[in-house]
């Protein structure tokens, strides 16, 4: 199936699935195992303990579900809510839209707060809704931490503050798919009730593991939530946690070992250093975009995303053409514009196990493509801007000092 | 995480997850890819076409869902049935029990036909229920083709015949988790409406892909089925099939390449040869059990399973001890007895990518363990019986003639 | 290149190359690295230190040469001897013959002590030669510890004793290709001057690393040895050892990591336990051969090899046919009879990373093949004999107690 | 052994060992096999046939030797020459120096033609020596096609022309270690008698296979060459070629499969396209060096190497510091200056399985390092120059059009 073979490495800059480090690929390069032997539960125990660290929680309970982000969403919702429950949800891009669609199809009463694509969640409207909701009809606030379609990061601390200001008991459900392990994320401090991510994002693993973490309050809610669920039911997991065998159905042995390796790498680098690296690469990307004279789809600095940058192209260019040329000519994989921004933006994913020179190679590629499609770019300008910043800020690799 | 290291290969004889051939491990040993590039849809197209062959269907539509067998069950049920619908389901062991539990939790009205564990589905009662159901209140027959807990294979052709005899329109839903790619399975000929399996069974891949195949009648039913579903909704798949991009959410790139390799191996050996090999290994196992003077949990020959053999131990032996010793002393992984037969049976899985000498090594190991736990076995007896049969029946390897 | 595909695992029982454990395969599954970065020397340092343990030496200096056993031979000889030097060498099988051939082509004056194939080195003749050699014209005794062609293990302690008895200063050069890491081997205690092995034997790695260990006396000899050498010259290695960069030319990065993993596994099991395991598997094999009514090519118990058993077949059977059938029908790889014993013996290699059930599967396969070619075997007899022994002697796996 | 872990990919730009494509890593990710089964000879036959294509020879005979480039040198020399034979050899850098050292240690009478490092072989002196050698005392011309230490490519066609001009019968031995599969190489057309390379160079495999190709004239010479040799003796290979079993001693199964994959990739891209890609990347690198205001160690354009560029740094900078910083800060592996040019040059290897964006990432990294060490570089300047060239010349990837 290598009929699309091109020489050299594929430069994978879609915002997921992202590059898998060799250490993780190696860890997964193995035969199956009996998941009922003593070995798998023993390893699972360490995974469940360690995975809490990426959520920055000590009181949460994590679930490693054989599914994708979409399934993780469903797990978060169906375990905590009942049909007809009112949720407040923010529509700011394709992924928040899909989550809202799921909420509607799961028969929740979704109160949508819409913003222009490129803007963050409108938290003023949230505040007014909470202020008005003295009867506490709002059961959950559902928010995508980082909207992957537009490169917008929402401020979760502010959401919590608003909830607290109004002493509102709504559950706080967060899609951290393109943020956890890359952006600052503090489940306990921000009082998040369910947080979730997928293995193929900043964890830098293959797709296939939805990681959901529930606060004690969310677990309590799950006892009375009436949404129909079986595969995604936390209860089955909790039953097997208590038995010490951990798995209600067969896990992927390979993904367990992969997660072990991925966590080991994150901890070796240091989670704070990982976040700082994403901040550095995000900033470098934005500096390049600015140097090219192009606009970031994200409208204000407060929403800038350190995991994905959506770049607006001039009206006379079809951004899909940029993506297509990257793949056909430079073995470069960029993200398409989706839905409302289709044709208008292309996206550079800069999350996961990635470093400065990889990003700079990508930026150089984008420059050549832009020139190719007729944009009057000064070749090297974006790379120069990014280098000027990175040369000043990139630390020595800790293990090599 | 190799603190349970033992020298030599692990002898994996649980009935799933099973041994992965090197070719599949190799095919999966790769970085992520952009699943929206032209490469992944092109490969997906071949997979969807080829995977139909393992179901023996030309009219069915397959779905490759990032989930396990439990999720595949849920996909089969929620896409075809509505809450309150009457299903007929057979309780003959732990996995049929779990499926029934799921049906009940999904709010179907489950009409359970129970048999003693070790017996097959009671099709006479099915016939009488269908005969009585002139109002066609029964919406679906749900049957586990091969009950992995007891090593019992049900006769699907007979189920179809009964449905036809009564001209009953109920959907025919089949769990083929431990049968498809190992036992004779004919979706079209037997008029099966939904068939499903999991990647970690006879396909000999890692866990993580639930493969569900729907007949035109099932697809038609899905248009009106009212069960709530999002992640498992076929509609989202069909939408992307029509778009030619195939994936409503991120697939595991590695499992796609793994499936490609797994199918290639199956077709290279020839599906009929694969089934014949399972038949040979199943018979050899049963001959060994007989030579040991032990009983098969399966009560009649008509139900003998060619993918798993549950062996009854004498009352003075705890079968869990056998499994434990296998693992601790011989690097042998056997299946535990589950639920009603816990402590009473141990299970030998002989499905997937496996050959004669692997099985004989396992049988020799079981003999030593049996002696170890005080069973008066004649060492070599089971191996001798199996060899006598295999020496007469094992064909030359086609590619080496 | 899988046109010889057969289902299930290949049962690899040639006496080399042997099965590679998954841990080693995984460790080698990686890109190249700059071998001049600080990382590779740092790892090399640990390898050179740890590899001495498999020779049981503290004073020896090891060389990890990118070559095979044949190259390791050449390294041992050319670094310590000068053209015209008299060596005493034992011809007892194909590999000792090949080493002698090499010695002759390297222009040494080889004094060959020949034995019938199936017998060990005739140490009485050695004694008489040493007794007669008061002028110390003999510069080296060259002996193959374990003759892989016939399954004969020579007694190195006795060789040392004879040398000591006559206070003879000859160098003691040992081919440990099919013994080191499998049989008791004591470089320092037995006063061995050069010992060598290859990575694809009991170390259970791919082919490609010749491991040569030199005593201080051998290193001293290398300063004056006049054999022409460059690639195999220890001097170049020693120069880079002193520089701390270790490599006179590019090593295989993959084999370095593979060696690291292989040593880790050996040490985790415990070298003495590894040797005991080989002893157990060797004995089990011989018990099976005896039960089959066949003769061991090795004529006396004192020479029995715990790494390879050469089985004599009756005159009416061509042993090559046995090997051929194993491969074509049971995916079993056995060793051919070589040279003088071609057609007369087939060989079962039982060295490296291997366990009881793997061996028993092989023995069952051999039984079926023997029946196939018309030998009046009682199926199961050899397995029964082996099981009776193994069931009594196999310890629990240390990590699983 | 990941104590030198850094996030993201290592950027491997030493001129060997080079990046291994995933396809080759995958192909090598396997257990050992019996190399005497029918499978390995069958594959070897295709390898020997296909490997001739990378030498552009139809009459040559290739040898796949388990060794490195140093061993391949030794094989070339000892099989064709006798002690005392006069060779003409060019000293233009570290690798030609090492080959000359080997020739001297192998007791040839080496007539060294020395040039300043950074210059190519002085072919005028060669001409004069040949002109004077009417007695044909010169037995071989030994030349390194591409001197990896200085980035100098010699003109082999001219060497042949000079030999022809003087109708001189000397053997023409060529080190193609850093040229074959990357630079234009025509064994038959240029009348080369022995050409050789190593697997870890432009073939993009792990180290461990020395590939030597002998012309009919070289094979004829090998019949009378008196250099002592065993491991490297072609005769043993030829004997097993005739037997159809191909291997005089155990090959690395993994490297055979790796070579198969590597050749398949080269042929899929097209050897001419591979060479054109190297030409493009070499030129882009030189344009960047020029833009930086630095000098190429290679003194004239006619000698520019498309596989490695040695960059001269100003006297106030230690080039070793550049290499060190690359590794410690940017996960970038550059080549050190060796011997005479130690501290004065750093080297960028741009050979093997590599593409434009990988190179551009490297160039950006070098810019930041240069700034770091105090060189007054304009960041982005080299990348801009390289991009301007590459944007005009990079073709679409053939398989993606």
C-alpha A68/C-alpha A364 separation (Å) is 32
Q: Which of B21, B274, B372 sits opposite C391 (nearest CB)?
A: B372
- What separation in angstroms does the CA of A23 have from each of A29, A259, A264, B30, C28? 10, 11, 10, 12, 11
Instruction: Please give the backbone phi and psi of residue B83, each rounded to the nearest 5 degrees, phi first.
Output: -50, 135
C-alpha D211/C-alpha D72 separation (Å) is 7
Among candidates C179, C171, C127, which has minimal Cα distance to C153?
C179
D125-146 per-position pLDDT tens digit: 999 999 999 999 999 999 999 9
- Measured between CA atoms, the residue of chain A closest to residue D359 is A361
User: Token digits for D114?
Assistant: 């020395």
Q: What is the mean pLDDT of residues D171-179?
A: 98
pLDDT for the residue A142? 98
Which residues of D does the annotation place in the binding site?
347
Is A5's pLDDT higher than 70?
yes
Size of interface A-C (CB pairs under 8 A): 18
Is A47's pLDDT higher than 90?
yes
- Is the distance from CB of C141 to CB of C163 less than 8 angstroms? yes
Is A337's pLDDT higher than 60?
yes
Is C2's pLDDT higher than 80?
no
Percent of chain D exceeding pLDDT 90 equals 98
- Other beta carbons within 10 Å of C267: 13
Q: Do B30 and D26 touch (CB under 8 A)?
A: yes
Which residues of D does the annotation place in the binding site for substrate?
347
B254-297 per-position pLDDT tens digit: 999 999 999 999 999 999 999 999 999 999 999 999 999 999 99
Q: How far is C365 from chain B (nearest CA, A)?
A: 6
DSSP symbols for B40-62: HHHHHHHHHHHHHHHHT-SS-EE
Q: Do D357 and A380 touch (CB under 8 A)?
A: no
D294-314 per-position pLDDT tens digit: 999 999 999 999 999 999 999
C-alpha D348/C-alpha D32 separation (Å) is 35
How high is the ipTM of this complex?
Answer: 0.98
Q: Which of A22, A29, A400 sits opposite C31 (nearest CB)?
A: A22
pLDDT for the residue D4? 86
Q: Do A384 and D385 touch (CB under 8 A)?
A: no
D199-209 per-position pLDDT tens digit: 999 999 999 99
B110-133 per-position pLDDT tens digit: 999 999 999 999 999 999 999 999
Interface test with C, best of B204, B290, B356, B399 (most C CBs within 10 A): B356
Which neighbouring-strand residues pair with A90? A113
User: Which residues does chain D have within 8 Å of residue C239's beta carbon, measured at their own beta carbons?
Assistant: none
Residue holding tokens 């891009």? A93
User: Which residues does chain C have within 8 Å of residue A31's beta carbon, measured at their own beta carbons?
Assistant: 22
Percent of chain D exceeding pLDDT 70 equals 99
User: Token digits for B151?
Assistant: 């090593």
Q: Do B38 and A232 touch (CB under 8 A)?
A: no
- Other beta carbons within 10 Å of B174: 27
Q: Which of A30, A38, A400 sits opposite C26 (nearest CB)?
A: A30
User: Which residues does chain C have within 8 Å of residue B269's beta carbon, measured at their own beta carbons?
Assistant: 5, 7
Among candidates A52, C239, D267, D99, which has minimal Cα distance to D113?
D99
C-alpha B247/C-alpha B239 separation (Å) is 9
pLDDT for the residue B2? 57
Q: Which of C29, C31, C38 sits opposite A29 (nearest CB)?
A: C29
Is C200's pLDDT higher than 90?
yes
C-alpha C9/C-alpha B395 separation (Å) is 16
C337-346 per-position pLDDT tens digit: 999 999 999 9
Q: How far is A398 from chain C (nearest CA, A)?
A: 14
C-alpha D274/C-alpha D181 separation (Å) is 7
Q: How far is C39 from chain A (nearest CA, A)?
A: 9
Residue B3 pLDDT class (50, 70, 90 cuts): low
- Measured between CA atoms, the residue of chain A closest to residue C26 is A26
Is A1's pLDDT higher than 80?
no
- Measured between CA atoms, the residue of chain C closest to residue B21 is C8
Among candidates A117, A87, A122, A123, which has minimal Cα distance to A105?
A87
Which residues of B does the annotation place in the binding site for substrate?
347
Interface test with C, best of D49, D76, D85, D231 (most C CBs within 10 A): D231
User: Token digits for B105?
Assistant: 């939790």
Interface test with B, best of A250, A320, A331 (most B CBs within 10 A): A250
User: Which residues does chain C have within 8 Å of residue D65's beta carbon, measured at their own beta carbons?
Assistant: none
- What separation in angstroms does the CA of D293 have from each of A129, A381, B66, D367? 63, 18, 54, 11
User: Which residues does chain B have within 8 Å of residue C359's beta carbon, measured at their own beta carbons?
Assistant: 361
- Measured between CA atoms, the residue of chain C closest to residue B380 is C384
Percent of chain C exceeding pLDDT 70 equals 99
A379-392 per-position pLDDT tens digit: 999 999 999 999 99
- Other beta carbons within 10 Å of A317: 18
Q: Do C379 and B368 touch (CB under 8 A)?
A: no
Residues in chain C: 401
Instruction: Please give the backbone phi and psi of residue D336, each rounded to the nearest 5 degrees, phi first.
Output: -75, 160
Beta strand B210-214 pairing with B61-65: antiparallel
Size of interface B-C (CB pairs under 8 A): 195
B6-50 per-position pLDDT tens digit: 999 999 999 999 999 999 999 999 999 999 999 999 999 999 999
Q: What is the mean pLDDT of residues C39-47?
A: 96
C-alpha B57/C-alpha B388 separation (Å) is 37
Q: Do D5 and A391 touch (CB under 8 A)?
A: no
Q: Do B207 and A32 touch (CB under 8 A)?
A: yes
pLDDT for the residue A2? 56
Q: How far is B39 from chain D (nearest CA, A)?
A: 9
- Is the distance from CB of D373 to CB of D362 less than 8 angstroms? no
**Chain center to CA of C130:** 27
- Measured between CA atoms, the residue of chain D closest to residue B31 is D22
D222-262 per-position pLDDT tens digit: 999 999 999 999 999 999 999 999 999 999 999 999 999 99
A12-28 per-position pLDDT tens digit: 999 999 999 999 999 99
Angle at Cα C1 formed by Cα B401 and Cα C4, nearest 5°?
Answer: 20
Q: Do A2 and D23 touch (CB under 8 A)?
A: yes
- Measured between CA atoms, the residue of chain C closest to residue B268 is C5
Q: CB neighbours of D72 closer than 8 A, spacing ≥ 6?
A: D65, D177, D196, D197, D198, D210, D211, D212
Interface residue ranges in chain D relative to chain B, Cβ cutoff 8 Å? 22, 25-27, 29-31, 38, 400
Phi/psi region, residue D262 (left: phi>0; alpha: psi -120 to 50; beta: rest), is alpha
Which residues of C does the annotation place in the binding site for substrate?
347
Cα end-to-end span (Å), chain B: 42
Instruction: Please give the backbone phi and psi of residue A336, each rounded to the nearest 5 degrees, phi first.
Output: -75, 160
Peptide bond into C17 cis (omega under 30): yes
pLDDT for the residue A401? 82
Angle at Cα B323 formed by Cα C285 and Cα C383, nearest 5°?
Answer: 20
Which neighbouring-strand residues pair with D174? D143, D195
User: Which residues does chain C have within 8 Å of residue A260's beta carbon, measured at their own beta carbons?
Assistant: none
C-alpha B149/C-alpha B345 separation (Å) is 9
pLDDT for the residue D136? 98
Q: Do C384 and B378 touch (CB under 8 A)?
A: yes
A274-333 per-position pLDDT tens digit: 999 999 999 999 999 999 999 999 999 999 999 999 999 999 999 999 999 999 999 999
A205-253 per-position pLDDT tens digit: 999 999 999 999 999 999 999 999 999 999 999 999 999 999 999 999 9
Q: Quick check: helix, strand or coil at residue D5? A: coil
Among candidates C154, C156, C199, C193, which has minimal Cα distance to C181?
C199
pLDDT for the residue A280? 98
A312: enclosing H helix or E strand: strand A308-312
Q: What is the mean pLDDT of residues B151-165?
A: 98
Is D271's pLDDT higher than 60?
yes
User: Token digits for A386?
Assistant: 């990014």
DSSP symbols for C42-82: HHHHHHHHHHHHHHT-SS-EEEEESS-HHHHHHHHHHTT--
- Is the distance from CB of C114 to CB of C135 less than 8 angstroms? no
Summary mean pLDDT of chain A: 97
Among candidates B265, B282, B277, which has minimal Cα distance to B355?
B277
Summary mean pLDDT of chain D: 97
User: Which residues does chain D have within 8 Å of residue B400's beta carbon, measured at their own beta carbons?
Assistant: 38
User: Token digits for B388?
Assistant: 């006598």
C-alpha D168/C-alpha D130 separation (Å) is 7
C-alpha D124/C-alpha A53 separation (Å) is 70
Is D3's pLDDT higher than 80?
no
Interface residue ranges in chain B relative to chain D, Cβ cutoff 8 Å? 22, 25-27, 29-31, 38, 400
Residue A4 pLDDT class (50, 70, 90 cuts): confident
C382: enclosing H helix or E strand: helix C381-393
Interface test with A, best of D260, D361, D389, D401 (most A CBs within 10 A): D361
C214-238 per-position pLDDT tens digit: 999 999 999 999 999 999 999 999 9
Contacts 24+ apart (CB under 8 A), D108-114: D108/D77, D108/D81, D108/D83, D108/D84, D109/D84, D109/D85, D110/D86, D111/D86, D111/D87, D111/D138, D113/D88, D113/D89, D114/D90
Burial of A138 (0-12, 13-18, 19+ CB in 10 A): buried
User: Which residues does chain A have within 8 Å of residue B30's beta carbon, measured at their own beta carbons?
Assistant: 25
Residue D1 pLDDT class (50, 70, 90 cuts): very low
pLDDT for the residue A157? 98
- Measured between CA atoms, the residue of chain C closest to residue A401 is C38
- Measured between CA atoms, the residue of chain A closest to residue C23 is A30
Q: Do D26 and B31 touch (CB under 8 A)?
A: no
Cα end-to-end span (Å), chain C: 42
Residues B94-131 as b or e (16 or more Cβ within 10 Å = b): bbbbbbbebbeebebebbebbbebbbbbbbeebbebbe
Q: Do B33 and A39 touch (CB under 8 A)?
A: no
C-alpha B103/C-alpha B91 separation (Å) is 12
């Amino acid at each position: 199936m290598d009929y699309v073979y091109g020489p050299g490495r594929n430069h994978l800059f879609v915002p997921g699935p992202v590059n898998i480090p060799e250490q993780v690929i190696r860890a997964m390069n193995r035969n199956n195992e009996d998941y009922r032997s003593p070995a798998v539960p023993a390893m699972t125990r360490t995974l469940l303990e360690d995975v809490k660290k990426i959520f920055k929680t000590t009181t949460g309970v994590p679930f490693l579900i054989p599914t994708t982000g979409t399934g993780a969403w469903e797990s978060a919702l169906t375990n905590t809510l009942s049909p007809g429950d009112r949720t407040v949800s923010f529509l700011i891009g394709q992924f928040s839209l899909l989550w809202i669609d799921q909420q509607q199809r799961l028969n929740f009463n979704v109160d949508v707060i819409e913003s222009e694509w490129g803007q963050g969640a409108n938290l003023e409207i949230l505040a007014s809704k909470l202020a008005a909701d003295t009867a506490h009809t709002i059961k959950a606030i559902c928010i995508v931490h980082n909207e992957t379609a537009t490169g917008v990061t929402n401020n979760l601390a502010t959401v919590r503050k608003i909830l607290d200001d109004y002493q509102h008991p709504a559950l706080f459900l967060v899609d951290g798919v393109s943020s956890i392990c890359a952006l600052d994320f503090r489940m306990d401090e921000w009082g998040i009730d369910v947080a979730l991510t997928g293995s193929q994002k900043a964890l830098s693993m293959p797709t296939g593991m939805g990681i959901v973490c529930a606060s004690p309050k969310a677990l309590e809610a799950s006892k009375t939530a009436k949404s129909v669920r079986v595969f995604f039911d936390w209860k089955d997991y909790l039953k097997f946690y208590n038995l010490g065998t951990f798995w209600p159905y067969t896990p992927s042995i390979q993904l367990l070992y992969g997660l072990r390796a991925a966590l080991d790498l994150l901890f070796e680098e240091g989670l704070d250093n990982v976040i700082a690296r994403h901040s550095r690469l995000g900033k470098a990307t934005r500096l390049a975009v600015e140097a090219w004279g192009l606009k970031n789809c994200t409208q204000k600095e407060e929403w800038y995303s350190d995991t994905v940058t959506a770049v607006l192209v001039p009206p006379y260019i079809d951004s899909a053409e940029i993506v297509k040329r990257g793949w056909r000519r430079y073995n470069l994989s960029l993200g398409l514009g989706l839905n409302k921004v289709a044709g208008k933006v292309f996206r550079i994913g800069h999350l996961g196990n990635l470093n400065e020179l990889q990003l700079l190679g990508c930026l150089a590629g984008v420059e050549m493509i832009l020139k190719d499609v007729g944009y009057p770019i000064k070749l090297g300008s974006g790379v120069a801007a990014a280098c000027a910043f990175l040369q000043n800020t990139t630390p020595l690799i800790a293990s090599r000092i």
